[in-house]
Amino acid sequence: MKRKLRTNPPTLYYDEIKLRPLRYRDGSTWKKLRSTNKAWLREWDATLPPTDENYPATFSQMVWQGKRDARKKIHLMWGIEYKKKLIGIVTAGNITLGSSRNCYIGYWLSKSQAGQGIMPISVALVLDFIFQELKLHRVEIAIRPENTASLRVVEKLKLELEGVRRSYIHINGDWRDHQVFVVVEDEVTTSFLERLKN
């Protein structure tokens, strides 16, 4: 019998933090969360160049595409819940297997929950899943040099700065430079949750 392909990433937990797949019924919560945090995220959120038309236009399309990409194992997206409330997103994208075995991690969080240690734990859960379950070799996190909140996340996780990628991601209407932080499997001697405790 053929095994059914998973259409969502697994749910990950730590204390009152839960990472779970987005659901269609999250639509109204998602819209409110994005609207409330529009100004907070504007400087850091990826935008579309004028020529790109192949991006989900609605929340439902985003969820549908997320299920399709998870089934293909090319992009995994988790909603971050804290105390049973959706407050942000963390993704593992551009997952490449074969001889490369790498991906990137991206994330954002509601301003009202920032600075409480939720995002470092969320990223640690995803990193542990990537290295323990997906058996990837290399993970990157790209951050604008001005984004001090995101820089604190990689600092707490003790990720190494590899360098700067010029004009790397389209953000807030223009191409922006990003610092790239990297971890490779040889450097993973303990779980990333343990790294946060040390």
What pLDDT, in 10s, does the model give residues 135-184? Answer: 999 999 999 999 999 999 999 999 999 999 999 999 988 999 999 999 99
Is residue 4 situated within a structural domain? no
Is residue 43 in a domain? yes
Quote the pLDDT of residue 2. 37
Task: Return all residues near 109 (Cβ < 8 A) that are at least 6 apart.
Answer: 80, 87, 88, 118, 119, 122
Give pLDDT, residue 4: 42
DSSP code, position 187 = G
**Which of the listed ranges 2-11, 21-30, 61-70 does the model predict with the highest average pLDDT?**
21-30
Is residue 35 domain-resident?
A: yes
Domain assignment present for residue 36? The answer is yes
> What is the CATH number for 24?
3.40.630.30
Residue 5 located in a structural domain: no
Measured between its terminal Cα atoms, the distance across the chain in Å is 46
Query: Nearest-CA neighbor of 23 among 53, 82, 67, 72?
Result: 67
Which pLDDT belongs to residue 43?
Answer: 87
Q: How far apart are CA 151 and CA 129, in angstroms?
A: 21
* Residue 142 forms part of a structural domain: yes
Q: Strand order of the sheet with strand 102-109?
A: 12-14, 17-20, 76-82, 85-96, 102-109, 138-143, 174-184, 160-171
The least confident of 48-62, 89-103, 107-121 is: 48-62
d(CA 86, CA 90): 12
Q: Range with the lowest mean pLDDT among 32-46, 77-91, 100-114, 181-195?
A: 32-46
Evaluate whether 107 touches 89 at the Cβ level (below 8 Å): yes
User: Which domain, by its residues, includes 95?
Assistant: 12-197
CA distance 164 to 104: 15
CA distance 130 to 9: 11
Q: Is the pLDDT of residue 8 over 80?
A: no
